[in-house]
Structure 1
Amino acid sequence: MLSQSQQSRGANAPSGFIQKTGISLKPSYYHEILDAHPELGFFEIHAENYLNLGGPARHYLQKIREFYAFTVHGVGLSIGGEMPLDQQHLRRVAQLVSEVQPEVFSEHLAWSTHDNAFLNDLLPVAYNQATLDRVCEHIDQLQSLLKRRVLIENPSTYFEFKHSDRSEIDFIRDMVKRTGCGLLLDVNNVDVSCFNNHSNPYNYIDGFPSSAVEQIHLAGHTLDNNPIVPLKIDSHDEPVSHDVWDLYRHTLATIGDRPTLIERDGNLPPLEELLAEAQQADTIRDAIRQENPHE
């Protein structure tokens, strides 16, 4: 469990991180970023892409870090896995966080390991007491090592477990209460999961424990038009969809403004297209601030 001083750390983030939207940092953009210094709130990196102590990725990270705030997003700790956290991997992530000093560190409510195998996916968990105990233990270990509050992201799901004994929102609320962690609300994940599970994404947002939300992700998805079971796939390789933009407006109107990231991992467009999406998010955020000036 975190101390009060650790839990309040997010309130001291630079105004750029808070006020303007960020984008994912990808190697294909390194030179253009350093040449043009585009106006952005921050960049976000996947921790696992920067764990080596040397090499081009770390070189450019250090250079770009001189001009921008950063967030670090873990994708390989397997917080929801049945196996103990990989201590070597955990120490390497902690070393990166210590060096980069990001505004926030986040991970997923998901698992990606089984025995000695690492699965190249973020898989959902069952929402029951045994899973809650395991997830909370892992979050406590992570927060104790990093000496900071971490954010946990709501998952994208394609099915529901029959042996879940509570809703996803109730599970997340219990997780926050027990560990003191914060939340990363991925609006695209909400849209994807609710479509796949035949539920209402607006009701999900309305019930989400918003006081713990410290960052928002926006991303694109693809639609698998399977004639039997159509699915939305959390692919991160398309622009943010109209449905997700509409849900984002509702989210900010409901919970207030939050630092926001445009997340893109595949089919990378010219940098100017991501910057335009970040500007679109900022336009929505500015409108919400004007409507709710005391937020």
Structure 2
Amino acid sequence: MQNHNIHHAVGVGLRHPHLDFFEKNAGHVSWLEIHSENFFEFHSSTRQQLRKIRQQHDVSCHGVGLSLGSVQAPDSAHIQALVNLVNELQPIMVSDHLSWSENGGVHFNDLLPLPYTEEALQVFVRNVIQVQDAIQRPLLIENPSSYLRFNHSTISEWEFLNEVQRRTDCHLLLDLNNIYVSSLNHGFDALHYLNAITQSAVKEIHLAGFTVKEIKNQKIWIDTHSTQVCEEVWDLYRIWNQNNPTTPTLIEWDSDIPQPQVLLREAQKASSIITEQANVPVAS
């Protein structure tokens, strides 16, 4: 049965424990986001199951492995696998991160931060253009969460992202949880970030949860995607929606994955915010 309570702009991340649920239960949300690399193998059972799910849902492809910030160009085999996946699924969006994760053939499990310099900007822009030329559509670039900053960075993260967008005509994926986490780790104003980004370029929002750890008597906020969205991030989302209603919005949950119904309750919260704000009259 179609769930009319969740706004069509709101989707959830499709993770392996939920493949069976969304294959057998269409209509809870209109779209799902996959991690692209998990479905590269053409003949795998997960790819076959994804084909069935795609018949009932729109799909977005979210990458974690292009390593767009690496000095060397993105791996050609990786790009080709992405091209094949995109050509088959015809996803509504294709995205990756403002980060790097590979150097000299060595791959890291983390999305590592960049120094925000002109040199790094030129490398990142070059790599984005190469991937966009291959997939024949704009990439969405997501802002990362970060736990350290480079002393030789010359501009802010939001300025860097805005300039990447200007030079490549890519789109932006704004992760509000990442903004909040980074603001606490680095002491900047999350609302200033939100206002400074090129809002017309933002084509998707991510919402997720975080974990707080204490290291040497200092707190660090970590983007674990392992719990519910906090109220402060919901507040940022309300502020965003005042000027940018119905931006496609994704609920992410990547570790300590709960039952699908928990994920759908988070999607319902996002849907309610969209609906409530759509019904608020604009002051004249």
> TM (normalized to structure 2)?
0.94
Tell me, what secondary structure is at the counterpart of 2:115? coil
Matched, 1:242 2:231: yes
- Written as runs of structure 1 = structure 2, the 5 A alignment for 1:1-295 is 19-291=8-280
* In 2, Cα distance between equivalents of 1:186 and 1:86: 26
Deviation digits for residues 74-110 of structure 1 (CA, Å, limit 9, x no counterpart)? 1000011122211111111111111111001001000
* In 2, Cα distance between equivalents of 1:267 and 1:292: 40
Shift of 1:227: 5.0
Q: Which amino acid aligns with 1:124?
A: P
Q: Which amino acid aligns with 1:80?
A: G
Shift of 1:73: 0.3
Structure 2: stretches of 5+ with no match in the other structure: 1-5
1:219/1:239 contact within 8 Å kept: yes
Q: Which amino acid aligns with 2:63?
A: G
User: How many residue pairs are counted as aligned between the two chains?
Assistant: 277
Shift of 1:123: 0.6
1:51/1:96 contact within 8 Å kept: yes
Shift of 1:18: 8.2
1:18/1:258 contact within 8 Å kept: no
* In 1, Cα distance between equivalents of 2:234 and 2:46: 32
Shift of 1:34: 2.6
Identity across aligned pairs (percent)?
A: 36
Tell me, what secondary structure is at the counterpart of 1:152? strand
* In 1, Cα distance between equivalents of 2:71 and 2:244: 33
Mean alpha-carbon deviation: is it higher for 240-249 or for 17-26? 17-26
Q: Which amino acid aligns with 2:127?
A: H
* In 1, Cα distance between equivalents of 2:74 and 2:20: 36
2:9/2:246 contact within 8 Å kept: no
* In 2, Cα distance between equivalents of 1:157 and 1:126: 11
State the Cα RMSD in Å.
Answer: 1.5
Mean alpha-carbon deviation: is it higher for 162-171 or for 65-74? 162-171
> TM (normalized to structure 1)?
0.90
Are residues 61 and 253 of structure 1, via their aligned partners in 2, closer, same or farther at CA, if it must alter by over 3 Å?
Answer: same
